[in-house]
Each structure stands twice: as structure tokens, then as C-alpha cells.
Structure 1
């Protein structure tokens, strides 16, 4: 009996030490200035339970947006993201995610670092993911058609969203703007609204059953649906024709929002601009 008791004293600390946590940080290796991208943090904690805290240090020039926090409290203090759990999720493995928007003037190598700490009744645990290096490439606000690259892998993870292909010039020197609306099973009211740069006039190209409205006084281009298409995703397009006069010194910046009805509430998401090629989907 004494031998069994002595053996248990040796085994129990070993079992406690065998428990650990680990982090795996996933993000693109290359992004463009002014673009948005998704960061996933995969957390493995086994059966450990208790208070948890995830810290992710964000390089200067990036702005984070919460996407999925696994019921944790998401905070950003200007330099790092903090997600806190008073009680960690029951799952042995789970993922949190957030989007980062790169400022238009960001360029060069940037590093994302993080750490996870977990306090249980048996002790505390800590882990760090491998630092992730991102190369930010400077790019103009208008891309030529042959410089647009494919990048579809993250789109489904965003849920209800709207993604603008980086505008490109057609043969008539007009800027073509394609927007992918990812709506899932929503079928009710929807409105897509864009603020276009000075010196241009917007014309509908592909409306996908929407009413298109262009307000010249406030430079707003709108697609309006009382009932959105039944497909889970679709594309709308418009062109921007330059007005007379010099436009070289005017920044070409488009911002927009997608508004939709979910139950009795209206929700809004920012339209993200990405280097993806939506022309192929328009041709299908």
C-alpha cells in the first residue's frame, strides 16, 4: 500500500506537468497597404479550465476588428489585443479570429506576436505562438486589370460581408468597381452604399435586381433591395467615369457599407477592399 501511495505521488505531478496549452497563429504572408485581412489564432488547451487571457501585439499602422472571440471579452488598447475569459471554453481546441486593416501608408516587414496564459486550480500555464512576419507592399488605389491577384481562401470565414475588388481601369479609362456580397440565407432588405472620390460620376453596370441610385451632391452610389436575391452570394458592379478636369492630385479613395435586415434589427458591415479577381465570377 505504501508503495502504491509513493508511486501516486510521483505520477500525479507528472500528469499535471504533461498538461499544456499551445497557440498557432495563421495570417497571410503578404498583404497590400490599405487592405484588410483575417488573422486566426488556434488554441489547444486540452481539458484545462479556468481563467484565460490571450494577448496579441499589433504592429503600428494596423487597426483590428473583432470577428470571433469564443465568448471572451475583446479589448484593444492601441498596441495590443486582449481577449479575457473568466472561464475558458469547454472545447479542447478552439479558434479566435480578428481582421486587421493596414493603413494606406504602411509598408515593409511587420511582426505579430502573442501569448496565452491560463490559471487553474492546479497551477498556471503559458504559451507563445511562433511570431508571424507579414510583408506589406505599397500599392496604388487603382490597380490595372492584369495586376489583380486571386485570394479567395478567407472569404467564407467572414460570414455576412461585402468585399470590393480593388478598382481597375477598363479600355475607356473608366474605373470598374466590383463588389461581392456574401449574405448567406438572408433574403430581406439590403442596401449597399459607397462614397466615391471627387471628380467622378457613378453608373450602374451589374445591379443584381437592385435599384441603383447615384446622388451627385454627396457622391453616394447606392444599391437598394427590398428583397435580396435568394442566392447566398452575388456581385454588383458600377463604373466611375472621370469628369472634365485634372484628377491627378485627387486621392482615389472609396469607402462603403453594406446594411441588411436580420430579424427586426438592421445591421451594418464595412465593405472591405481586397486584391481578388471577381471578373471570373461575373463571366460564369
Structure 2
């Protein structure tokens, strides 16, 4: 895995470390929320719905002694579509390229067959990177339940023939032990100069971040009606011409893509109320992210069975 070298003149202290880590886990294990908490800014969308993440999003943690590049991957799952198969391929490819893997095991859920399968797949890699067990969502359980959970995590060593490099309970909500987790990941990175210029927190194109914020607003609003059938494409995005520097306006033209006409009606809502609510929510998020007033034009398009059509998936960047 490669990254652009820092072009900024910068003294690198002796022993400085830099490299890549990824968080893996079942869908909805808290990977995206954890990435955002460690980076200190929103670079990955988070939702209560499984399979929210569809790209390998890079978030960059800058420290005096290290630069840690976190890769938030989709949750490994049983695929039902070609999109699902491609997302699983993305996860497995990421495993082979990072310096350390954080395995997210939510403390409020029992370790189940999905967790065991995931860790077992990591153990089969020709070169298994160091594995750090991350007991996420520690704020949701008490001491007794946490102790049981940590013992169950430890028991996976004998069961699967692995060795945890570390086991760290954390809470992204209360920031509990995030510094300990960052230290455990950094400790497993190779020594080297920063991979990105100082101050950079992600290398994702702005168009990708904007599309993801819109999709997050849709996921929050449609609840369980069609979470996996929606994707977002940015048709056009740029600063409006003729505006003075002190009054910029970013024009964003985006399409929310669904698979069926009935789903289009769900997204639009009664008299367009849901579409307006999604637009208002996502516009505020985009403005907060980019620090610029935004004009957002949202449309809904039907692209039949796009999750199963290789041509559609290629066109949409999957």
C-alpha cells in the first residue's frame, strides 16, 4: 500500500513511525465511528445500519512521534449481490497491505460465528499482520460483562491458533482508551517519515466525501426501507462563477440512485417532503465539512438492479 510522500519540509524525530492500519469486523461493529474518533474529524460515514461503508476510507492520525493511516473497510459479510462480492474482495485485499489490523468486537454483543469466521480468515493469510483486538462500545456495558467479553476474546487465541498483539477496550462515544489503542497500533508500525503532509486528515476526493454524506442522510431517513439499494453519484461540483472571494458558493449536483420505481417514491416522500429533509440535512453536513456555503441539487434516478450489474458497478466506481 502506497501513499504520497510529504512534500513539506519537516524535521522527523528519531524513531518516528508511519504506516497503515485497518479496522475489520462484522457489519455495525463500530469501525467507522472509531476511525472518526481517532482522526478527530468525520472522514467516514457511520450509521446504525449494517454494510454502511462501501469504500476503503483513509483517515490520517498525525502525532509528534508517528503518522497512523487508518483504513476503514466495509464489514465482511455473506454477499447476496455482485456488489457484496466486490466489497468482500476489497476487505481481503486491504488485509494483505497493512502493517497492523484492529479487529473490532463490540462489547455489547456476544462473540459469534461471524467473529470467529472473520478472525479465522485473517489467520489463513500467507502473512498475517499483527492483530489488535478492539473491544468497541465499552460505554454500553458494565465491568462484569466487559470482563466476560475480554475473556472470550482471549479464548479465540487457542481456538483459532492466533496471538493477539494487544487487547484494548474502547469507547468512541466517551473517548475512553482511544489514546491507548492509538499507541498499540503505532507500536506495530515500521519506523519512517510521514507519508502525508502535516495537517492532512484524509486523501479521499471531496466528491467522494460529499457523496457519502448525502448517502448517510438518506440512510438515517429511510430507516429499514431500502438501506442497501441506494448509492449516490456526484454529477457536477464546483464553485459558482462570478462570485467574489468573500461570498463563495459551491454548487453540487448529485443523483441518488435506486433500483426500482417504488424505491424512488420512498426517497422522494409525500409531496417531496423526505427529499427536502434529506437535502437540508446533507447540505448542512457538506457545509460543515468544506467550510463553504453550498447549493445542493438532489435528484433521484432508477438504475435497475445496479448492485448486480457489472457495467453499472464499474460506472459507479465499485
Shorter chain as denominator, the TM-score bin is: under 0.3
Greater fraction of residues in strand: 1
TM score, norm. by length of structure 2: 0.25
Quick check: which has more Rg, 1 or 2?
1
TM score, norm. by length of structure 1: 0.27
